[in-house]
Structure 1
Amino acid sequence: MPWEMDAARFDALVDEALDAIPDELAALVHNVVVLVADEPPPEEADDLLGLYEGVALTERGLNEGGALPDRIFLFRRPLMDYCDSLEQLVEEIRVTVVHEIAHHFGIDDDRLHALGYG
């Protein structure tokens, strides 16, 4: 059954998930912004939970300096629809954050699924 949470509380859960990333890993994330949107873009699946837009570190050349930040999106409505409880939502936000940050490091979906982040 669908349920709701106000945007400020949802954003706070995203902040908590980001704060839980180990410092050693967080220190390696550069020029990335994390954004929350209510819905995925129209060209994406309606049930998409998150999206990484950018160039993975493994794909960057020497001329990447000064580029706009990579972007990680978390999609509020699909995440809310996917989860039946606050506990499940907290966990799914955490998993989605880790999943999208992994794309920043060049880890593909197949590997993430094998690791349980799919």
Structure 2
Amino acid sequence: MSLVDAQALSAAKAPSLVEIEDLAHAAFAALPAAFQALARDVRIVVDDFPDDETLSEMQCESEFDLLGLFRGIGLAQAGETVTGQMPNTVWLYRRPLLDYWAEHDETLGHLVAHVLIHEIGHHVGLSDADMAGIEAAADL
């Protein structure tokens, strides 16, 4: 590692919630238009960790077990909107994402995009093969 690389690395900070959200929105913008149209009503929210209720519901052993989660009514189950219904939301969890990223050989942008596509895929009812194809088409 050169001195310049070492200086840049020593000044590096973990990406913030806002920076992870920016990565997610950039990844969404790079997805095929047809996929974007299916998910146009899905909000993207980034938090450090899932809440205790979510961890319990998903039977997680650790707060680091969950990288993302779709909450809402999937397109296959969509019907009439019920008053008080929360909007469809993809939750991305910053700290578990960063932990996973630190232990694997992929870029943070690619990881965020992968989790985002997977979680939106739940919303639209796609198979793993469909999601892999979307990811490949977006060249992420």
Name the TM tier (shorter chain): 0.7 to 0.9
CA deviations 1:35-84 (Å, max 9, x no partner) are 001101213132200000011111123x2376542111000000000012
Moved over 4 A (4+): 113-117
- Note the residue ranges of structure 1 that are not aligned, 5 or more in a row: none
Aligned residues between the structures: 111
TM-score of the two chains, using structure 2 as the length reference: 0.66
CA RMSD of aligned residues (A): 2.7
1:17 Cα deviation from its structure 2 partner:
1.1
Q: Which has the larger radius of gyration?
A: 2
TM-score of the two chains, using structure 1 as the length reference: 0.77
1:21 Cα deviation from its structure 2 partner:
1.3
Contact preservation (8 Å) 1:59, 1:106? no
Contact preservation (8 Å) 1:31, 1:68? no
- Note the residue ranges of structure 2 that are not aligned, 5 or more in a row: 1-12, 136-140
Asked if 1:76 corresponds to 2:94, the answer is: yes
- Higher helix fraction (1 or 2): 2
Counterpart selection for 1:64 from 65, 70, 81: 81
Match of 1:104 in 2: 123
Q: Percent identity of the aligned residues?
A: 32
Match of 1:33 in 2: 43
Asked if 1:22 corresponds to 2:45, the answer is: no
